[in-house]
Chains A and B, each alone.
Chain A
Amino acid sequence: MCVGLSARVDKIKNGMAVVDASGVKREISTELIENLYPGDYVMVHAGIAIAKISSTDEDEVNKIMETIKDAK
């Protein structure tokens, strides 16, 4: 039950959105997320969007590894 799923926002209306998670479409609540537009990616838990995903993991991991390098 407690699994996060990333999904692309297709349509938004009245705090609800149709999202596409790897081809599976579903209506979810997006009322907790501000400034959300079609094309954005969100993290979905139990039928509600709990976060906007701002980038892929590549930059993030690169920064983590830079931090470790700096520490040495």
Chain B
Amino acid sequence: MLSKDIEKAKSIIMNYDGPPIKIMEVCGTHTHEIFKLGIRNILPNNINLISGPGCPVCVTPTEFIDEAIYLALEKNITICTFGDLIRVPGTSSSLGDARSKGANIQMVYSPLDSVEYAINHPEQQVVFLSVGFETTTPASCIAVRNAKNIELKNFSILGANKTMYQAYLALKDAADAYIYPGHVCTMTGMSELYKLRDEENVSGAVTGFSASEILSSLAYIISETQKNKPFVANLYPRVVTEEGLIKAKTLVENTMESCDSIWRGLGIIEKSGMKLKKEYIDYDARAKYDIPKIVGKPNKGCKCGEVLRGDIKPFECPLFSKGCTPEHPIGACMVSNEGACSAYYKYGENLWKKN
């Protein structure tokens, strides 16, 4: 009986009275679901849930937005992008601001839609803003491969694709265990998580997104953490397999290769990015348009970096709710629907209003 299991999990969580445990939920959707479901309200004081860097919009650096604005305004290129990137501030403006100056910014649901757009608008040069982790990267690869197959000349991508493994490593001391992002793990499978456990003593549980999945995962992590031994478990086997999605891995390996990547707030993480291979260079907007080297300057007061590392809670940022709100975001974590600041603002009023 599901309800019995949920009650059991809740009881384990609520009655935990051992040493403090820090748990980082990596995925932005987990952050939001945990708030929406009211799970934070049942946590005892000795369980600290930290929101990690698993929102691709939030970790996209300022200079990426600056590059996109340069293409849109200086080169008169049509930008196709996921909607939540439009309001992310660059150094001095956002893509939304660029649109008000006449730039052609198109919102798409999928990279495949941007290929369709390019096919239907042969008079325009089209660049898709390719951000995202393992879940989104294959879609960009399919888009580029399809474009190459039909020799589409007016389409390319501006890449900022990232992989999670190096980020798990970079943040491993921030928490006792990760709530691993269920959908990234559908792609990667379990082997890299076993490696983290065996070689780096990193613990965590692959977790789904329903209330019962999140609660039972928290109960599991609490129970395992008390054994003082690194652990990893796939608690989302209805979607995540041991081997991951082999076809997706092959597709990405054939299209992209590893590179260093800048993460907003975390800096450069070696081998944490993916860029197009040489044979797809015609579809790489940086090469195609010879974009100058841009050094982005994020707002100095913005503490998105500290939030993403779990060093501070969103409401400890001096701008939170004072100038930086979902309507008028200053930092990326407030823009994206998956961002930690946005989640705290929307659902965590009881946590920050008293502060």
Contact = CB atoms under 8 A, between A and B. Distances in A.
Interface string B10-28: 0010000000000000011
A18 interface: no
A66 B309 CA distance: 34
Contacts of A65: 5, 8-9, 216, 219
Which bucket holds chain A's interface residue count?
Answer: 20 to 34
Interface string A21-62: 000000011011110000000010111101101111111111
B107 to A, nearest CB: 10
Contacts of A43: 183, 186, 239
Given A61-B216, A65-B219, A47 B109 contact: yes
A29 B227 CA distance: 43
Contacts of B12: 68
Interface residues of B, number: 61
A2 to B, nearest CB: 5
A59 B5 CA distance: 10
A58 B224 CA distance: 21
B183 A45 contact: yes
A60 B9 CA distance: 13
Contacts of B236: 60
Given A31-B142, A51-B186, A61-B6, A45 B136 contact: yes
B318 to A, nearest CB: 28
Contacts of A1: 56-57, 82-85, 131-132, 136, 336, 338
A67 interface: yes
Interface of B: 2, 5-6, 8-9, 12, 27-29, 54-57, 82-85, 109-113, 131-133, 135-136, 138-139, 142, 182-183, 186-187, 208-210, 212-213, 216-217, 219-220, 223-224, 227, 233, 235-241, 245, 247-248, 251, 336-338
12 contacts: A1-B57, A1-B82, A1-B132, A4-B182, A29-B139, A31-B247, A34-B247, A45-B183, A46-B135, A51-B239, A61-B9, A61-B213
